[in-house]
Structure 1
Amino acid sequence: MSHTARNDKRDLILSKGARVMTRRGYHGTGVQEIVQAAGIPKGSFYHYFASKEDFALQALDYIYAPRLERYRAALCNAAIAPRQRVLDYYADLVAHFARKEKPEYHCFIGGLSFEMAELCPPIAKRLSEILAQSVEQLARCLEQAQRAGEIESGCNCPALAEFISNAWEGALLRMKVCGSVAPLQVFLQQLERLLAPAATNLPGRECPAALTNATGVDQ
């Protein structure tokens, strides 16, 4: 098998298998379910992956490498004001979920975090790395918005980025539980309020105290 063909087969298994694992969870998905979804013999799985854990690690990279690149591109788009880049990106995500007729309200990284972060150090490490990269990209964009006077000058942008990222992951989990995009819509409404332009920030709309401390620690 050529290198290209091998990569194509591996990508097929990752794509199909990750969908199953997203729906059923890590513990609810066996190698048999993965190979059935990919339409390959069970023995072929081990030509590409040492174990189900190895599959999950490779699936994280397969899914999130392109997503992180899209995130970076969206938040670095110089044609759009920094604050608006953040709002537009999350608005597009909410619209994406809302458009689906039968949305599978699942998040691969959120599901793995919930199930495996305490049980599997290699998976926990990779999850942390991916989330840290996304927070770093968001913090840079928020710092640009701050320099442009679009958000409060006193905000601790890394802490604010961490808060937004955590809130989004929580909204995705709530969406899965209630079977509705309503939690994402609430997230977007509150994000718009949180990132209200500095010049129009009214009492009650200031950056939370825990996000204004330069150390990121609520004093």
Structure 2
Amino acid sequence: MLAAMSTSIRLDKRDLILAKGAEVMTRRGYHGAGVQEIVLAAGVPKGSFYHYFASKEDFALQALAQVYQPRLERYALALGNPALSPRQRILGYYAELVQRFARQEKLEYHCFIGSLSFEMAELSPAIGAAVDAILQRSADILQACLEQAQAAGELAADEDCRNLAAFIANAWQGALTRLKVASDTRVLDDFLQRLERLLAA
């Protein structure tokens, strides 16, 4: 019993550092987020950081998995919803994201994976590979839904679903980058309008 409780405490502390540290790194970037700032945000001693993570790079890799695995699971569930047609799933998912931004009183957008992409993709092959794997998994989920749309007659029979999924995924990432720069949801409205045209029956 005591051993199980000790394990739970250790896991909870690691999760806390990952959650708070990811927030810091998202706002300040990889290079702007020091280990001291991460542990202060988590409310733990500096030694705790190095107990769970071999380095800041190791922390970033584990934080990527912690943040994006649940998001990918939610994406897969939304795009696999049998109650909606494949086209409805895709359009509904992105429409809800756009509406979520529109409801913010003060538009703010910070992207953990985007920040790491810009700063570290070339400097750290391990982080670059992890980011690419997450983005590719997202595109794969979208491709599977597009293939279902094609089978249901919602897309042309000769549509290249792999290419279309990559284009949509890349366009969304680009729209989010522009959102961060411009702080204007029109970029997301433009994305959604074009997506509707792309998926027109």
Q: Give the TM-score, by structure 1 length.
A: 0.87
Report how far residue 102 of structure 1 moved: 3.0
- 2:185 and 2:110 map into 1 onto residues whose CA distance is 11
Structure 1: runs of 5+ lacking an equivalent:
198-219
2:61 is aligned to: 57
Q: Which residue of 1 aligns with 2:168?
A: 164
1:83 matched residue in structure 2: 87
* CA drift at 1:117: 0.7
* Whole-angstrom distance in 2 between the partners of 1:32 and 1:104: 25
User: In structure 1, how many angstroms separate the alpha carbons of the residues matched to 2:8 and 2:47?
Assistant: 20
In structure 2, the residue corresponding to 1:100 is in which secondary structure? coil
Equivalent position SS for 2:114: helix
Aligned AA (1:33): E
Counterpart of 1:179 in structure 2 is: 183
The offset of 1:101, in angstroms, is 2.5
The residue aligned with 1:4 is 8
Q: 2:116 aligns with which of 99, 112, 121?
A: 112
Q: 2:78 matched to 1:74?
A: yes
Find the aligned partners of 1:63 and 1:189 in 2 and give their Cα distance.
Answer: 29
Q: Where do 4+ consecutive residues of structure 1 move more than 6 Å?
A: none
Q: Once the 2 structures are TM-superposed, how far is the Cα of residue 155 of structure 1 from its aligned partner? A: 1.0
2:38 matched to 1:29?
A: no
- Once the two structures are overlaid, the 10-residue window that deviates more, 172-181 or 94-103, is 94-103
* Deviation at residue 185 of structure 1 after TM alignment: 1.6
Which residue does 1:124 correspond to in 2?
128
Greater CA deviation, 125-134 or 1-10?
Answer: 1-10
AA aligned opposite 2:106: K
**1:31-63 residue CA offsets vs partner (Å, 9 max, x unmatched):** 111111111112211111111101100010000
Q: Which piece of structure 1 moves more, 102-111 or 10-19? A: 102-111
| Distance in 1 between residues matched to 2:37 and 2:75, nearest whole Å | 31
RMSD: 1.2
Residue 181 of structure 1 deviates from its aligned partner by 2.1
The count of corresponding residues between Structure 1 and Structure 2 is 197
* Change beyond 3 A, Cα 1:102–1:37: farther
1:150 paired residue among 145, 154, 162: 154
Confirm whether residue 133 of structure 1 aligns to residue 133 of structure 2: no
* Alignment partners' CA distance in 2, 1:5 and 1:146: 48
Amino acid at match of 1:105: Y
